[in-house]
């Protein structure tokens, strides 16, 4: 009870102390992130900002075709590192392996011979039981009307799949594909369960006269139309938290992560060239990590993955980003320690302005002001949002800790 009293007093203080950020309108243009802005593609940005003169010429394209041009430095390099490319996992290796394991083994005879002709195909796939034995082998299971075609064995392995009876509509059902009949068990109604539910949730509370009254459980409902300024609910917070561990599965994909990080760097440069950048543009990633993440993933071509995951909790990428950033800001405010509160209060009252003008030149002083503007925005949240975050503070704290304080490539910055 004592802690709750301190929190409420702090809320009143903070609500008035940080009601407005000094010179907010002046600096808004630097921190604004419009998710409706049309962004260039990764290839377009890379072409614009890559210095092609610094690209290293390794003098070969593939490890199975290194050419015949002798070069002493190249020979030394390739003798040490030449084998490493073979050990790099192919881009679609895991997907192809998973697909092969799902397919019935009798289909391997149409796929395996072709896989053995693909340059650079993973040895792990080629040595897969059932695929290994198909090298240079002609399929034995052929559609009936094709069996007597002359010189059929000289068809390219690329077209072996056309020999499958299923392609031509021949009825070849698999016995193990027949559905099993399941006889439902007879269940008797458990009246004790229904009596217990009625005691826990009395029907009287849902009469029309009662529904119109405000209830505490309304905060567990989801916001229908989420915008940058829509109120945050506990339902929104819990739905957002469920997406974090699933999204972070992408961190295991080194290729995707490298492209997202690279897209972030290119986005920073593009922001600067288009008058949207800060001298320290990564400040945006600290304040609005999820909005920036949406932009990076769009540029990197990974936004389909994001859209698929967040849709399972009823979000669009835009509504998910707004919910995420609002949740983080509200949580920072709800858990703010006294030192941070005093520092921000001092900036609001202009306590540092005289020192900035007397000790720093104009450029350096403006850099400090930008940093303080960023710090203020870290904690800029409506009182209602902060109350919702405070109610869920333990769940938020545990979720952020388990996530390693990051969402894919976005940092989760908290005050303590």
Kindly state whether residues 378 and 262 are assigned to the same domain: yes
Q: Is the pLDDT of residue 17 over 70?
A: no
Kindly state whether residues 277 and 364 are assigned to the same domain: yes
Q: Are 104 and 130 in contact (CB under 8 A)?
A: no
What is the rounded average pLDDT of the residues 96-104?
79
Kindly state whether residues 163 and 238 are assigned to the same domain: no
Kindly state whether residues 168 and 25 are assigned to the same domain: no
Residue 67 lies inside a defined structural domain of this protein: no
Handedness of CA 239, 244, 249, 251 (dihedral sign): positive
Least confident of 136-140, 227-231, 362-366: 362-366
Kindly state whether residues 154 and 245 are assigned to the same domain: no
Residue-level pLDDT at 1? 41
pLDDT tens-place string over residues 340-387: 888 888 888 887 787 777 777 777 778 888 888 888 888 889 999 999
In angstroms, the CA 309 to CA 244 distance is: 9
Kindly state whether residues 250 and 343 are assigned to the same domain: yes
Residue 376 lies inside a defined structural domain of this protein: yes
- Band (275; pLDDT cuts 50, 70, 90): confident
Kindly state whether residues 316 and 399 are assigned to the same domain: yes
pLDDT tens-place string over residues 110-137: 888 998 988 878 888 888 888 899 898 9
- Kindly give, in sequence order, each residue whose CB lies less than 8 Å from that of residue 159, ignoring residues fewer than 6 positions away: none
Q: Are 22 and 347 in contact (CB under 8 A)?
A: yes
Q: Classify residue 44 as left (phi > 0), alpha (psi -120 to 50) or beta.
A: alpha
Least confident of 209-223, 295-309, 316-330, 351-365: 209-223
What is the rounded average pLDDT of the residues 183-212?
72
pLDDT tens-place string over residues 304-324: 999 999 999 999 999 999 999
Q: Which helix (H) or strand (E) holds 389?
A: helix 383-391
- Least Cα distance to 110 among 176, 55, 179, 159 occurs for 159
Residue 266 lies inside a defined structural domain of this protein: yes
Kindly state whether residues 355 and 263 are assigned to the same domain: yes
- Least Cα distance to 66 among 81, 87, 51, 54 occurs for 81
Q: CA separation (Å) from 257 to 90, 253, 261, 300, 313? A: 16, 6, 6, 9, 23
pLDDT tens-place string over residues 189-199: 777 887 888 88
Residue-level pLDDT at 232? 93
Residue-level pLDDT at 16? 37
Residue 293 lies inside a defined structural domain of this protein: yes
Residue-level pLDDT at 12? 37
Residue 145 lies inside a defined structural domain of this protein: yes
Kindly state whether residues 147 and 13 are assigned to the same domain: no
Domain's final residue, options 152, 173, 194: 173
Residue 199 lies inside a defined structural domain of this protein: no
Residue 58 lies inside a defined structural domain of this protein: no
> 362-378 and 317-334 are packed helices; what angle lies between their axes, rounded to 10 degrees?
100
Kindly state whether residues 339 and 252 are assigned to the same domain: yes
Domain of 122, in residue numbers:
103-173
Residue 389 lies inside a defined structural domain of this protein: yes
Structure tokens at 348: 């609001």
Tell the burial category of 74 from Cβ atoms under 10 Å away from its Cβ (0-12, 13-18, 19+).
Answer: middle
In angstroms, the CA 266 to CA 254 distance is: 18
The number of folded domains in the chain is: 2
Kindly state whether residues 289 and 355 are assigned to the same domain: yes
- Least Cα distance to 284 among 104, 32, 100, 112 occurs for 32
Least confident of 78-87, 260-269, 327-336, 345-354: 78-87
Residue-level pLDDT at 245? 94
248-272 b/e with 16+ CB inside 10 Å = b? bebbebeebbebbebbbebbbebbe
Best-predicted range by mean pLDDT among 71-75, 81-85, 154-158?
154-158
Q: Is the pLDDT of residue 258 over 50?
A: yes
Kindly state whether residues 235 and 356 are assigned to the same domain: yes
Q: Is the pLDDT of residue 82 over 90?
A: no
Residue-level pLDDT at 98? 74
Residue-level pLDDT at 53? 43
Q: Is the pLDDT of residue 2 over 90?
A: no
Tell the burial category of 159 from Cβ atoms under 10 Å away from its Cβ (0-12, 13-18, 19+).
Answer: exposed
């Amino acid at each position: 009870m004592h802690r709750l009293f301190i929190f409420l007093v702090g809320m009143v203080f903070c609500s008035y102390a940080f009601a407005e950020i000094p010179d907010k309108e002046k600096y808004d243009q630097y921190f604004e992130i419009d998710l409706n802005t049309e962004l260039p593609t990764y290839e377009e940005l890379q072409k614009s900002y890559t210095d092609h003169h610094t690209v290293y010429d390794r003098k070969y394209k593939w490890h199975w075709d290194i050419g015949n041009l002798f070069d002493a430095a190249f020979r030394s390099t390739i003798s040490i590192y030449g084998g490493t490319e073979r050990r790099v996992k192919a881009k679609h290796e895991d997907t192809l392996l998973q697909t092969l394991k799902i397919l019935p083994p009798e289909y391997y005879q149409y796929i395996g011979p072709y896989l053995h002709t693909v340059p650079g195909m993973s040895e792990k796939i080629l040595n897969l039981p059932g695929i290994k034995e198909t090298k240079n082998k002609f399929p034995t299971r052929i559609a009936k009307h094709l069996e007597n075609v002359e010189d059929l064995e000289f068809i390219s392995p690329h077209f072996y799949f056309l020999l499958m009876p299923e392609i031509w509509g021949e009825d070849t059902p698999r016995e193990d594909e027949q559905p099993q009949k399941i006889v439902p068990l007879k269940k008797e109604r458990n009246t004790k369960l229904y009596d217990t539910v009625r005691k826990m949730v009395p029907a009287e509370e849902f009469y029309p006269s009662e529904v119109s009254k405000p209830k505490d459980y309304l905060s567990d409902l989801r916001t229908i139309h989420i915008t940058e300024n829509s109120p945050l609910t506990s339902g929104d917070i819990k739905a957002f938290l469920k997406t974090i561990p699933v999204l972070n599965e992408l961190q295991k994909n080194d290729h995707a992560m490298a492209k997202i990080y690279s897209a972030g760097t290119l986005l920073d440069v593009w922001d600067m060239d288009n008058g949207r950048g800060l001298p320290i543009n990564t400040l945006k990633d600290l304040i609005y990590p999820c909005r920036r993440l949406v932009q990076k993933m769009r540029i990197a071509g990974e936004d389909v993955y994001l859209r698929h995951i967040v849709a399972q909790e009823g979000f669009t990428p835009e509504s998910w980003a707004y919910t995420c950033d609002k949740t983080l800001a509200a949580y920072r405010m709800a858990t703010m320690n006294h030192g941070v509160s005093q520092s921000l209060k001092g900036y609001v009252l202009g306590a540092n302005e005289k020192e900035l003008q007397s000790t720093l030149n104009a450029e350096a002083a403006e850099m400090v002001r930008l940093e303080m503007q960023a710090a203020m925005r870290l904690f800029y949240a409506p009182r209602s949002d902060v109350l919702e975050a405070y109610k869920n503070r333990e769940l938020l704290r545990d979720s952020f800790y388990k996530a390693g304080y990051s969402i894919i490539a976005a940092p989760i910055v908290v005050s303590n």
